[in-house]
Amino acid sequence: MATPSNKNSKSHKRNRRGHIGLNVPSIVLDQTTGEYRVSHRVSPSGVYNGKQVIDKK
């Protein structure tokens, strides 16, 4: 059986798992509407790239 000969410390284990983390979405302030939105997405008011693409009811 393959068993570890020594115990891995907490720092060694956490260094190995350093690539696992939270991804924070890039939120930008829309210049035309003044609303915050995720980049490359339609704003909550339906504006994208300075043009009204979705009609809000």
Query: What element of type H or E holds 11?
Result: helix 10-16
pLDDT at residue 53 in the model: 92
Domain boundaries, the chain: 24-56
Q: What is the pLDDT of residue 27?
A: 92
Predicted model pTM = 0.50
Q: Which residues of 31-44 are buried (b: 16+ CB within 10 A; e: fewer)?
A: eeeeeebeeeeebe
pLDDT along the chain (57 residues), means of 10: 86 82 86 88 87 84
pLDDT of residue 3: 86
